[in-house]
Amino acid sequence: MTDVKSGNNPLFLREEELRQSIELLFFAYRDFTAEPDQILKDYNFGRAHHRVIHFVGRNEGMTVSELLDILRITKQSLNRVLSSLITRGFIEQRTGIEDRRQRCLYLTEEGRKLEQKLSRVQRDLVARAFREAGGDAVAGYRKVLSGLINDTNRDKILDGILKP
């Protein structure tokens, strides 16, 4: 406690608090993805497939470019994952009605089942954490995480999450 860095130095306390909060995010994300990863193994899918299934499930009919914009990966990266999901019957593509260049993405029956399965374990995990933390804490969690999203696209994302 007589350490120069600790003691009563408020700047140190602040830095320490920030570092702790950064680690919390790492550990929470690590454990939050562990269960789905296990399930995906049974299908020979990976986390990338999960993300596609998740976002297509949340935005049925979204286009490939919209998906790319969310995932922030190249179309070549997406393509491997997406085409395996299509080939194996978890996702379906339909030509856009207004713009026939677009490929609109939908979950198949099978895809929806897997989406449910994956979503279930994550929702249960979050639900438990929410229940234990209480309503005010949940509001704080959402507020802080929203603030962590890059402000250049925060509004777009938050609009998307809190559906139009």
Partner DNA sequence: ATTTTACGTCAGTCATGTTGACATATATTT
Partner DNA sequence: AAATATATGTCAACATGACTGACGTAAAAT
Contacting positions for a second copy (CB under 8 A): 14-16, 18-32, 34, 51, 54, 58, 72, 119, 122-123, 125-130, 132-134, 136-150, 157, 161-163
Q: How remote is the C-alpha of 97 from its chain's centroid?
A: 28
Tell me how far apart the alpha carbons of residues 122 and 135 are, in angstroms, rounded to a whole number.
19
Give the one entry of a second copy, DNA, none that residue 138 binds, where binding means its C-beta sits below a cut-off of 5 to 8 angstroms depending on kind: a second copy
* Lookup: tokens for 141: 């969690």
Q: Residue 6 gets which letter from DSSP?
A: S
Tell me how far apart the alpha carbons of residues 90 and 107 are, in angstroms, rounded to a whole number.
6
Q: Which is nearer to a second copy, 75 or 137 (CB)?
A: 137
Per CB under 7 A, residues contacting DNA are: 44-49, 51, 63-65, 68, 72-83, 93, 96, 98-103
Q: Which is nearer to a second copy, 4 or 148 (CB)?
A: 148
To a second copy, the closest distance from the beta carbon of 86 in angstroms equals 22
Q: Which is nearer to a second copy, 87 or 152 (CB)?
A: 152
Give the one entry of a second copy, DNA, none that residue 75 binds, where binding means its C-beta sits below a cut-off of 5 to 8 angstroms depending on kind: DNA
Give the one entry of a second copy, DNA, none that residue 1 binds, where binding means its C-beta sits below a cut-off of 5 to 8 angstroms depending on kind: none
Tell me how far apart the alpha carbons of residues 156 and 163 are, in angstroms, rounded to a whole number.
10
| Phi-psi group of 72: left, alpha or beta (phi > 0 → left; psi -120 to 50 → alpha; rest → beta) | left
What is the phi/psi pair of residue 104, to 5°?
A: -90, 140
